[in-house]
Chain A
Amino acid sequence: MSSRKRTRALASTTLGIVFLAVMLFPVYWMVNASFQDAGMAASSSFLPLNPSLAGYEKAITQQSGNLLTSIVVALGAVAVTLLIATPAAYAIAKFRLRGIAWFSFALLIAQMIPGIVIANALYVVYNDLGMLNSVPGLILADATHGIPFAILIIGAFMRALPMSIVEAARVDGAGHVRAFVSVVVPVSLNAIITAGLFAFLFAWSDFIFALTLTTSPDVKTVTLGIYDYLGGEVQSWSPVMATAVMASIPAIVLLVFAQRYIAAGALGGSVKA
């Protein structure tokens, strides 16, 4: 009986692995193709039997500047997102401000606005302000991906915080700001980290704002670098795939090392609506 149960469980695991393998085949194919010899675009083998780093060499020489831009922009977007979203989430969760429900509602709607609508209008504004092709401009725009999500995720967490810990600090003479910085933020760190990681991934993956708000090679993100490859007839896929692999590293690293935050964020998706 128990051995039969075990075989069934094992069969389930095997089939589960098969499903996962099918789903992740494109990711495997990306890694596989990135190691193929650059000259052999016409025939791709299923295993990188003769691994070559030529694709990476080419990708790094062509994309290292873009990767750096992407990192700076994504980190900047995280900073902007958290600085704006964390206090707002606290106020929405704990201060019964008159009319604040409207703002929460606006945040929900904001998440449904297609990025291209925002990008279009921002192009006009940035053009007037001379903010096209600027890293700060891109950072502020990319924060739109993260801010509504961050306010909702952090707010959901803070709503569950007992008010007594804040009151204790306030009785000791701390103002709202002191109580927020020294009590609320430390106990909410998990939610803040989750929001920060997603803000990073959103900004790192951004394509629409990079496409619309930059026109020069000086400020170019790696997503745009990949798109440039796809623009023409692709001669050799290994540098393209090598760039795609490098662009995917943050997501893979976070999934492996920050899994519980990612899981929290994925569930936060249901909190959203």
Chain B
Amino acid sequence: MTTTLQSTEAPISDPAPPRGRSTAARRELLVRWAFVIPAIVYVALFFGYPVLKSVTMGFQEYTTRSFVTGEAPWVGLQNYVDVVTGSLFTTTLTNTALFTIGSIIGQFTLGMLLALYFNRKFPLNGVLRSMLLLPWLLPLIASTAVWKWILDQDSGVLNQTLMGLGIVADPVPWLTSPDLALVAVVGVNVWLGIPFNVSLLYGGLQDIPEELYEAGALDGATGWRAFWSITWPNLRAVVSVVLVLGVVYTLKVLDVILGLTGADQRTRLRRSPPTRTTVPSSSSTSAQAPR
């Protein structure tokens, strides 16, 4: 009796799981795991399984019929061959690369400039900074709708303003010309990414001790010099986090591109997902090419 008590008593003061084979210890371990098991099951079902399923479907001939019959013959690497040799493959890859690189450069540069600007003391600084988060919090498809209206060729405010100021003579086809559409989509994505970049970089800047700048100023390092020899080295960890997350988020963006340019892709997407699923999962991660 006393021994069992001691062995169950022990884990209370010690967070490590109890050792030993007593039933009490085993129950204790079970209770602890019970806290995390729902999450493990959920992640396995809603993240693990879909990834596995996508991989296996990539090797199958999955058609609309497969949904009814449940039959999807194995075709080996055929789907991958189709995708890689497909006429759209290089375009998609190039567009994805341009989209990602353009977005990252744009949102990081502008985000850094704004973070540096707000890293000084002036009235309303905090209020302005938190309002800057708004584009990040809005539903993507809502922001996309506004941008579609702003960029509208005939009556969008951007073209009206540009023409009013005499900068362009004819309305610019922002969303209908393939090259410009890529530029427009990158621009909108940069706008979406700035708040996130600012808030993380600002946090990083705030963590750099003031004394470093004071010491630097004594040695004549101010302005640009101070940025490169004090700010940048101390910010490096935050910068890598921002860039990694930026790439991850950018590769995941679908709403913006679909909303801005993909009006007629929607029937394909919604009515018959099978046409899409014959494509290996890897290709669906890449941003669709604006037509």
Contacts and interface: CB of A to CB of B under 8 A. Distances in A.
Interface of A: 9-10, 12-13, 15-17, 19-20, 23-24, 26-27, 29-30, 33, 41-44, 83-85, 87-88, 90-92, 94-98, 100, 103, 106-107, 110-118, 120-125, 127, 140-141, 143-144, 147-148, 151, 163, 167, 170-171, 175-177, 180, 201, 204-205, 207-208, 211-212, 215, 223, 226-227, 229-232, 234, 237, 240-241, 243-245, 247-248, 251-252, 254-255, 259, 262-263, 266-267, 269-270, 272-273
A272 B67 CA distance: 38
Contact of B138 (A151, A211, A248): A248
Interface string B10-45: 001101110000000000000111011011101100
Given A9-B122, A16-B118, A30-B146, A106 B263 contact: no
Contacts of A124: 53, 57, 67, 277
B194 A147 contact: no
A84 B146 contact: no
Interface in B129-145: 130-145
B163 interface: no
Interface stretch (B81-89, B195-203, B216-224): B195-203
A208 B255 contact: yes
A243 B142 CA distance: 8
Contacts of A29: 146, 149-150, 157
Given A114-B252, A208-B254, A120 B284 contact: yes
B199 A266 contact: yes
A170 B12 contact: yes
A167 B12 contact: yes
Contact of B15 (A96, A110, A117, A226): A96
23 contacts: A13-B122, A13-B128, A23-B132, A26-B143, A26-B191, A29-B150, A41-B155, A84-B42, A87-B36, A87-B38, A97-B32, A98-B17, A103-B39, A118-B47, A121-B57, A171-B12, A180-B35, A226-B145, A226-B259, A230-B145, A245-B142, A269-B196, A269-B200
A43 B137 contact: no
Contact of B31 (A10, A19, A177): A177
B150 A121 contact: no
Contact of A259 (B114, B123, B130, B203): B130
A269 B36 contact: no
B1 to A, nearest CB: 17
Nearest to A106: B43
Residue of B36, B49, B53, B135 ringed by the most chain A CB atoms within 10 A: B36
Given A26-B191, A29-B146, A120-B50, A176 B199 contact: no
B142 A248 contact: yes
A251 B40 CA distance: 30
- In the complex, the 8 A-B pairs of residues with the closest C-beta atoms, listed nearest first: A121-B50, A88-B39, A91-B35, A205-B139, A121-B53, A12-B122, A251-B137, A91-B36
Nearest to B288: A116
B39 A20 contact: no
Given A110-B43, A110-B47, A170-B12, A88 B17 contact: no
B280 to A, nearest CB: 11
B137 A262 contact: yes
Contacts of A120: 50, 54, 57, 273, 276-277, 281, 284
B149 A92 contact: no
A230 B259 contact: yes
B17 A127 contact: no
B148 A230 contact: yes
Nearest to A25: B150
Contacts of A171: 12
A95 B17 contact: yes
